[in-house]
A and B are shown apart, each in its own frame.
Chain A
Amino acid sequence: KNQVEQSPQSLIILEGKNCTLQCNYTVSPFSNLRWYKQDTGRGPVSLTIMTFSENTKSNGRYTATLDADTKQSSLHITASQLSDSASYICVVKETGFQKLVFGTGTRLLVSP
């Protein structure tokens, strides 16, 4: 069964610190992986997409990595800000199908 598992479930860090969120998946054959940010009470918004051939991609203070061999992705947040407090959702797409597999998300709280 195709699954996406995220860790940790929740995380509290101090403002200005870095953190890394993990996403492990069993989806095969793999097409792409997206990280979404969901602010409380809002809909998710895409941060970045990783395709099979990409290892690292940055979007401002967010850097995503992908290891397609081990089926792992990470989202690294540098110099965290209070506005980074949100849930981060990993979504993986299987090649040839329209179906997306969602992780349950990591809830990040950045404390002043």
Chain B
Amino acid sequence: EAQVTQNPRYLITVTGKKLTVTCSQNMNHEYMSWYRQDPGLGLRQIYYSMNVEVTDKGDVPEGYKVSRKEKRNFPLILESPSPNQTSLYFCASSLNPGQAGELFFGEGSRLTVL
């Protein structure tokens, strides 16, 4: 089954404790992206990757890091989480968003930073 898998789905952590949210897709998509979704603000892009070893900042990259060492994986790293990073996070992939490619989203990871 074609899917985007995120882990963990739910996480409660404390300020400053490094964490990684993993994302994996099995559709051989070149494009992958991370979003955060907050009430009233909609989906905002954190980072995206056009291909292996190619990443770029989205609209709200501060406090986040990513890496793309393999085509299928695109982990999101919070080096020192803060309470304002409490949010619902989505990973998405696409064959080619530049040519009307559909975004396929994961199920989301709800993060709470105390």
Residues in A lying within 8 Å of B, measured CB to CB:
31-32, 34, 36, 41-46, 49, 51, 89, 91, 93, 97-100, 102-105
* Chain B contacts to A: CB under 8 angstroms: 4, 31, 40-45, 48, 50, 90, 92, 97-98, 100, 102-103, 105-108
**A100–B97 CB distance below 8 A:** yes
A43 B108 Cβ-Cβ under 8 A:
yes
Given A43-B108, A98-B31; A49-B42 close (CB under 8 Å): no
Q: Contact between B41 and A46 (Cβ–Cβ < 8 Å)? A: no
CB distance from A62 to the nearest CB of B (A): 15
Q: Could you write out 9 A-B pairs with CB less than 8 Å apart?
A: A32-B100, A41-B108, A42-B107, A43-B107, A44-B43, A46-B102, A89-B42, A98-B31, A102-B44
- The reply to whether A93 and B100 form a contact with Cβ atoms under 8 Å apart is yes
Say yes or no: B106 contacts A43, CB within 8 Å.
yes
B105 touches A44 (CB 8 A): yes
- Min Cβ gap A58→B in Å is 17
Residues of A within 8 Å of B48, CB to CB, are 98
A45, A97, A104: which contacts B40 (Cβ < 8 A)? A104
Known interface pairs A46-B103, A51-B100, A93-B97; A103-B42 also in contact (CB < 8 Å): yes
Q: Apart from A34-B103, A93-B100, what are 18 other A-B pairs with CB-CB below 8 Å?
A: A31-B100, A32-B100, A34-B102, A42-B107, A42-B108, A43-B90, A43-B92, A43-B105, A43-B108, A44-B105, A46-B103, A89-B42, A89-B43, A91-B103, A99-B45, A100-B97, A100-B103, A104-B42
